[in-house]
Structure 1
């Protein structure tokens, strides 16, 4: 059986970094292409690093000739600076990536969205994630896996108060996230990454939405 190839966008992020490590250690993948704005200075026989500006994605279509495309792009409004800048990173880039992936024959598209994603939400962040999901479905990938993690746990380069508080609560008072509140339980970045790799092993076609508590069950 032929081994697979993957394209990973967002390899320097919290989930993306974990995912990269898993893909490189997975014997099913013989090649992993990563798109980055700045070199990760990573030396590995499986890795092909492409340094690019994401506004020029259309110039790099040849790299989309892979089996699986993993999109882990994401930012915050604070980091982006404006809502428009946020929308470009979290909505416009992933949609363009998915469109090129479809055009170039990729079999699976796996993307990180967010718990509470809803195109009709009054909350800007949730609305943008909902619009992303809605538009991704229209592209018509053979296999689309959407991951909706709760607050992510892991070592970030920047400090986020909400995630730090949630981490302390989930570790000290885990019973608070039982029953109907289980979907709000923070989830480890590595857990999400493992879920994405497992989903990529499925041959099922269609649209699959993985809620946070379901991602935990996959591991």
Structure 2
């Protein structure tokens, strides 16, 4: 299998690359990143291509041919982006542009990280944008669309996100499982990454069937991540 990874320098993108050693079915990974620095994996050929989204938007660069899947791990926060407009550019416009081109190139699978609570009709801007991109991707009718909705993420980042640090603290303090709140429990980024790969290998669209959409909520991501820990 040959996949394109968008957002390979982020928390989940890095975990995708580190996890690939356990999946010999994946023969090549192409990483698009703003920086040429990206985690390497000696067991999987990884090609890191430094791409600016301005060049992608202008048509100077395009998705490679022969892909089996696109993993979209792009994501930021409004605080880091600097404005709601910039946040929507990164979390909505870039993924949609990539998805449209993937559809044109007949890529059979598109896999994207959104968020718990994604809802195109939400009064909360963050959740609304996440819901809007889900709606647009559904409309493109990929043979298979995987949507992954994690709660607060746990893991090492290049920058500190206060909300996620608080979530990690609460995750260690509160017995979410015993309280029936597992859906809300903060989740390690590696569990989300492994769930994406698990979906790639097991959610096979069948010829002749309508386009398939599968949504992985946070509690399911926990179950898959725990079952596929190494």
- Given the two structures, how large is their TM-score scaled by the length of structure 1? 0.92
In 2: Cα distance, 1:200 partner to 1:55 partner: 29
RMSD between aligned residues: 1.7
In 2: Cα distance, 1:42 partner to 1:159 partner: 19
Q: 1:217 corresponds to which residue?
A: 223
Q: Structure 2 vs 1, CA of residues 42 and 130 (structure 1 numbering), >3 Å: closer, same or farther?
A: closer
Q: Unaligned 5+ residue runs, structure 1?
A: none
Instruction: State how 1:178-193 maps to structure 2 within 5 Å.
Output: 178-179=179-180, 181-193=181-193
For residues 129-168 of structure 1, give each alpha carbon's deviation from its aligned partner in whole angstroms, at most 9, with x where no partner exists.
0101011111111100000000000011222222112212
Note the C-alpha offset of 1:14.
Answer: 0.4
In 2: Cα distance, 1:170 partner to 1:22 partner: 23
Q: 1:29 corresponds to which residue?
A: 26
Instruction: State how 1:52-201 maps to structure 2 within 5 Å.
Output: 52-57=51-56, 58-175=59-176, 178-179=179-180, 181-201=181-201
- Given the two structures, how large is their TM-score scaled by the length of structure 2? 0.88
Q: Structure 2 vs 1, CA of residues 175 and 216 (structure 1 numbering), >3 Å: closer, same or farther?
A: closer
In 2: Cα distance, 1:160 partner to 1:26 partner: 31
Note the C-alpha offset of 1:84.
Answer: 0.8
In 2: Cα distance, 1:128 partner to 1:177 partner: 32
Matched, 1:206 2:215: no
For residues 69-116 of structure 1, give each alpha carbon's deviation from its aligned partner in whole angstroms, at most 9, with x where no partner exists.
100000111111111111000000000111111111211100000000
In 1: Cα distance, 2:65 partner to 2:75 partner: 20
Structure whose residues are more often helix by fraction: 1
Give the count of matched residue pairs.
Answer: 215
CA contact (8 A) 2:103 2:142 kept: yes
Note the C-alpha offset of 1:182.
Answer: 1.9
Q: Unaligned 5+ residue runs, structure 2?
A: 206-210, 226-230
After alignment, is 143-152 or 62-71 more displaced? 62-71
Q: 2:208 corresponds to which residue?
A: none
CA contact (8 A) 1:177 1:184 kept: no
Secondary structure of the 2:204 match is coil
